[in-house]
Structure 1
Amino acid sequence: MVESVVCVPEVFTLSAGAWRSTYGSFLPRKSIRFSESQVAVDGVLYWLADDGTSEYNYNYLIILFDITSEEFKEVNLPDRLACDHARYLSIFKLRNTLAVLQFDVREMLYDVWMMTDGVSSSFIKLFTICLTDVAALFVQEFRKSGEPVIGVRRICGQHDDLSLVVYEPNSKQINNIGINGYYYDVNAYMETLLLFDQPDLIIYGNTTPAFEA
């Protein structure tokens, strides 16, 4: 977690080409510490965060920003997710819904949870990713079908072998997609024409943490 500096958020409106203050009045509490794990789902931005009540232990929650209403909200996680300090959390987009991954370092497995109604603390556990024949595994992204893309590390003699595989939750089988190497960074994307009229697809002129609408 990284401690966030509280500031007034601004929204850049592409139609107007200008920055302005958000309409919403609610801001995250000053104690909230944001992580780098974030995702955008159906017009809502989600961040994994810690409520900042403990210096040594995380109390996880979700902070969201609704682009339509321009309001921040807090989403409480179930106790099993919020306060299990032996496991680490990250968030992803799964079938156009927010998913929470709970990683157990000791057992080298991921539990995959999915939000069921959009803005409440209702989560269901979908499946567990457990591969017994690997030295390490890292969930990189999810396919449109819901299958996780995983970076798998195996020990081959004196060298590590890292490959990208697709995990099939029903059969619990993995399919190697033929990409091998030392490091991967997998990201989902959506085709768009936004900023197409900008020479380098970047907007300059404001260093304040902000949101694009």
Structure 2
Amino acid sequence: MKMKGVTCSCRWQVEVFSLRSGVWRNSYGNLSNNLVNLERPHSQVTIDGSIYWFGVENTVGSDTEYCFLISFDLTSEEFGEIYLPNELAFRDKVELHLFNYCDSLAVIRQRILDDMIQVWRKGNGDSKSFIKLFTIKKPYRYMSSLPLGFRMTGELMMRKANNGEDSETLIDYDLFSHHINDLGIESKCSSLLVCSYKESLILLDQSDI
């Protein structure tokens, strides 16, 4: 799927690619006209047939921006909006990270000033509310670590910068026991990334995917 702002228009143009037909379909979709930008579109999360991104809108009557979540249902091809608690919505966008946590939508806020990590999870069922699960103080020698995602067992994977070196190490952090495990994977130039996947069999001739 591709999305872009249309010149001289307050609407967004949406293009959806079908694996079955092998072509792009043009659609304006039902995105909010107030949407200013998609924040870090490459860091999307897919859960239960919907894709999620951070979006940015302006507060009505002011220039104040706030973050919220945009969803795209892969079956109905419709967009939705999920509004975040004020504690997340009006914070610096670079502090926020979107992840899949145990098959639930989760937002991590890494507070820059005191290096605390907050883990928020979307409510179960039809609820669009978020609840705060954890507030974590990172150990001193891991202050420069950056959250990358969650393992299936719930540990938070982070990229730890090695002091005095142009390198980084992949670690995981148990949110309950606070145990930190060095996974033995190193890289340079902030190139460590983590992606989730599920093994599945897709029959392209059975449905329009």
TM-score (norm 1): 0.77
Matched, 1:11 2:16: yes
Q: Tell me, yes or no, if the aligned pair for 2:95 and 2:109 is still in contact at 8 Å.
A: yes
- Measured in 2, the distance between the counterparts of 1:185 and 1:87 equals 17
Match of residue 80, structure 1, among 76, 81, 87: 87
Q: Tell me, yes or no, if the aligned pair for 2:12 and 2:31 is still in contact at 8 Å.
A: no
Q: How does 1:132-143 map to 2 (within 5 A)?
A: 132-143=140-151
After superposition, the C-alpha distances for 1:130-178 in whole angstroms (9 at most, x for unaligned) are 22223401111211112111111242xx435521111011111101111
Match of residue 170, structure 2, among 161, 164, 175: 164
Matched, 1:173 2:156: no
Q: Given the superposition, is the C-alpha separation of residues 159 and 25 from structure 1 closer, same or farther in structure 2, using an over 3 Å criterion?
A: closer
Query: What stretches of structure 2 of length at least 5 have no aligned partner?
Result: 6-10
Give how far 1:85 is off. 4.0
Q: Tell me, yes or no, if the aligned pair for 2:4 and 2:13 is still in contact at 8 Å.
A: no
- Ranges of 4+ aligned residues in structure 1 off by more than 4 Å: 192-196
Give how far 1:62 is off. 0.7
Aligned twin of 2:113 = 106
Give how far 1:88 is off. 1.7
- Structure number with the bigger relative contact order (C-alpha 8 A, sep ≥ 6) is 1
Match of residue 50, structure 1, among 28, 49, 56: 56
Give how far 1:30 is off. 4.3
Q: Tell me, yes or no, if the aligned pair for 1:91 and 1:98 is still in contact at 8 Å.
A: yes
After superposition, the C-alpha distances for 1:154-208 in whole angstroms (9 at most, x for unaligned) are 42xx435521111011111101111123231222223456699xxxxxxxxxxxx
Q: Tell me, yes or no, if the aligned pair for 2:98 and 2:107 is still in contact at 8 Å.
A: yes
After superposition, the C-alpha distances for 1:33-63 in whole angstroms (9 at most, x for unaligned) are 11113211111111101113465x5411111
Matched, 1:89 2:93: no
Query: What stretches of structure 1 of length at least 5 have no aligned partner?
Result: 197-211
| Number of positions where the alignment pairs a residue of Structure 1 with one of Structure 2 | 192
Q: Tell me, yes or no, if the aligned pair for 1:35 and 1:47 is still in contact at 8 Å.
A: yes
**One-letter amino acid of the counterpart of residue 173, structure 1:** H
State the identity as a percent.
Answer: 33
- Measured in 2, the distance between the counterparts of 1:112 and 1:70 equals 29
